[in-house]
Amino acid sequence: MAGQPEPASFPALDLDLSAVPAADPGASPQGFVVEVAPGERIHFLDWDGPSGATPGPGVRQRDAPVLLIHGLAQTAWIWTPVARRLRARRRVVAMDVRGHGLSDSPTHGYVPGQLAEDAIAVADGADLLAGADSAIVLAGHGAGAMVAAWTAAELAERCAGLVLVDGGWESLPETTDLDPEEFLRSLEEPPEVLRSMTSFLADRAGFDRATWNADQEQAARATVIEVPAGKVVAGVRPHALEGLARAIFDYRPEEALGRVGAPIVALMASDDEFGRRAAAMARLQGARRTAGLPAIPVASFPGDGHNLMRYRPAEVTAAILHVELLAGPTGRRGQA
């Protein structure tokens, strides 16, 4: 296919599924909020997990806790299939990006610096960065991968690894041929999908009935509001959706990821009709080689859609568990 890069354009990410714990069906997170400014509270789900060992002097802690960041128009609940597995090995927290889920929806703050500050505030509020040498792994999905990249750059040595789940390596104007307004229109749901909660859930179940379960229903319900007339409307406020969309359309992967010193891995789904997203990954890898930066190992899933947490939860979990292994004993990134 035209535009499709050669396989050698980026190294394959070797995922050890034998290291992935079974999902804990009885686990249930606690919800908390952290206030970043008056009237600006960010909500997060704390899935708990085992405590890590205290590292020696000058050595970054392994088995770092994990902060999960959802994508556009989603909530922290989309990470449930991963969190149920990951919590057996790591402390796990999933946040609602400002304007989404149960986080506040101020009319401002949908810019890289503030979005990163929100994520760091959640990490601090959840005591993920309690020790002087502590560090966290960041995993983001779609637009959340871009937020995770901005956050990783701000955290510097306190970021132990960055996992890009089907996003974060591309410039959206180049890969979509859209501007933010056109992109937002493309997200609009057909009226028949929104005519009732039953219709909405049936549509979401239809994406892949084999993976539809109570967790997927909860994640879907968290994205909409059922109004008295029986219809459902999007849970994210229009100004928040527009604000985040404009931020991600300004995202430049070479610049954002070039500021991240921690190990980076990526997972790529099949939503790439013209090969543009794979070509964007190849361009990024070439730019990193030119800059003397490590290649980003990539796992591709050509048979699965964008929501890899739903379709490939074990693989996403394996990537999160693996990313720290790419760092040296002092936590500095080695050449991949």
Q: Assess whether pLDDT exceeds 50 at residue 328.
A: yes
Q: Assess whether pLDDT exceeds 70 at residue 8.
A: no
163 within 8 A of 186, measured Cβ to Cβ? no
In the chain, which ranges are E strands? 30-37, 40-48, 66-69, 92-95, 136-141, 159-165, 224-226, 232-234, 264-268, 298-300
* pLDDT value for 275: 86
Report the predicted TM-score, pTM, of the whole model to 2 decimal places: 0.93
Q: Assess whether pLDDT exceeds 70 at residue 4.
A: no
Segment of 50-64, 220-234, 263-277 carrying the highest mean pLDDT: 220-234
Q: Assess whether pLDDT exceeds 80 at residue 212.
A: yes
Reduced 3-state DSSP string for 155-177: HHHHEEEEEEECCCCCCHHHHHC
Domain ranges of the chain: 7-185+237-326
Q: Assess whether pLDDT exceeds 60 at residue 331.
A: no
Tell me the CATH number of domain 7-185+237-326, given options 3.40.50.1820, 3.30.1490.20, 3.30.420.250, 3.30.565.10.
3.40.50.1820
Q: Please give the backbone phi and psi of residue 32, each rounded to the nearest 5 degrees, phi first.
A: -140, 165
* pLDDT value for 9: 67
* pLDDT value for 61: 45
Q: Assess whether pLDDT exceeds 60 at residue 333.
A: no
* pLDDT value for 273: 66
134 within 8 A of 159, measured Cβ to Cβ? no
The structure tokens listed for 296 are 């980003």
* pLDDT value for 294: 95
Note the pLDDT tens digit of each residue in 56-110. 333 344 589 999 999 999 999 999 999 999 999 999 999 999 999 999 999 999 9
- Residue corresponding to tokens 């996992």: 163
